[in-house]
Amino acid sequence: MKELSHNNQKKIAVVNDISGFGRCSITVALPIISHLKLQCCPLPTSIFSNHTGYEHYFFDDYTQHMREYIRNWKLLGLEFEGIATGFLGSEEQIQIVEEFIQEFKTERTKVIVDPVMGDNGTLYPTYTKEMCREMKRLISYADILTPNLTESCFLTDTPYHEYDWKEQELYKMAESLSQVGAEKIVISGINMGNYLGNVVYETNGTRTIIRSKRVAKERAGTGDIFSSIIAADCVNQVDFTQSVRKAARFIRECMRITDEREIPAEDGVCFEEILYRLK
């Protein structure tokens, strides 16, 4: 009898935390990647009842289990067309992800790194100098890199300022990131007055800035939606610039609907209601 393979369907391994409420991280990635016709395989870094933007939350660090979890995937002979990383909570977790990429990356595997380090010019409180150093190592494995403006500045040692970025300054920063290894980069969340900008940079010569009109206040989880669409589209061989436009357009519509329903900002966006539109 013919032995069936576990690798007859395209898969993306998503390394991130699981948050039971609040629409972020794996809770967002799983339905979006699945909707885009790929199997999403979560590799949890920690378990949260709800994310840390709430007044209180339950938290369980999964670091001590990650290597054994990965070892069993190896025993099954799993292969991945995509490896996507999100928030990592410690220096050791970053090192484990580096080991995972080394172990599972093949010629057909695309690595998408979202270096979740900070926002609004400031690193997250959990981020240390050692973690910043390790993240600079991790991004060298990326085929696609999706930092926000703050993270781009920290990764390239560029002074941060919120407004009045010149296009050439942004392209220069993206070029510096590409020299570490990534072929495709999008720097997201650039404040452009009534618009938010996404800088698209590819080593093949593509340079463009995609602007999206602001429709509502900032909300939790939009970065996870953005990076999940980019990751799935990459494996599905969608043009990178087209993918960034799609992600920005989808998030804008999610924000509009969520604002109309008066959902608290920490609850994220109601992407479920219009997921059917994402193609």
Number of domains in the chain: 1
Read off the CATH number of the domain in which 172 is found.
3.40.1190.20
pTM: 0.96
Domain assignment of residue 189, given as a range: 11-277
Q: Is residue 6 part of a domain?
A: no
CA distance 277 to 241: 19
Q: Is residue 273 part of a domain?
A: yes
What three-state secondary structure class fits 214?
Answer: coil
As a whole number of angstroms, the longest Cα–Cα distance in the chain is 66
Q: Is residue 5 part of a domain?
A: no
Q: Is residue 4 part of a domain?
A: no
Q: Is residue 238 part of a domain?
A: yes
Q: Which long-range contacts (CB under 8 A, 24 or more apart) does 51-56 make?
A: 51/19, 51/21, 51/22, 51/24, 51/25, 51/220, 51/266, 53/22, 53/220, 53/266, 54/22, 54/266
Which residues, in sequence order, are CB contacts of 107 under 8 Å at separation 6+?
none
Q: How far, CA to CA in Å, does 72 sit from each of 3, 68, 76, 130?
A: 19, 6, 6, 29
Per-residue pLDDT of the chain (279 residues; tens, 9 = 90+): 677 899 999 999 999 999 999 999 999 999 999 999 999 999 999 999 999 999 999 999 999 999 999 999 999 999 999 999 999 999 999 999 999 999 999 999 999 999 999 999 999 988 999 999 999 999 999 999 999 999 999 999 999 998 889 999 999 999 999 999 999 999 998 999 889 999 999 999 999 999 988 887 788 899 999 999 999 999 999 999 999 999 999 999 999 999 999 999 999 999 999 999 999
Which residues, in sequence order, are CB contacts of 5 under 8 Å at separation 6+?
77
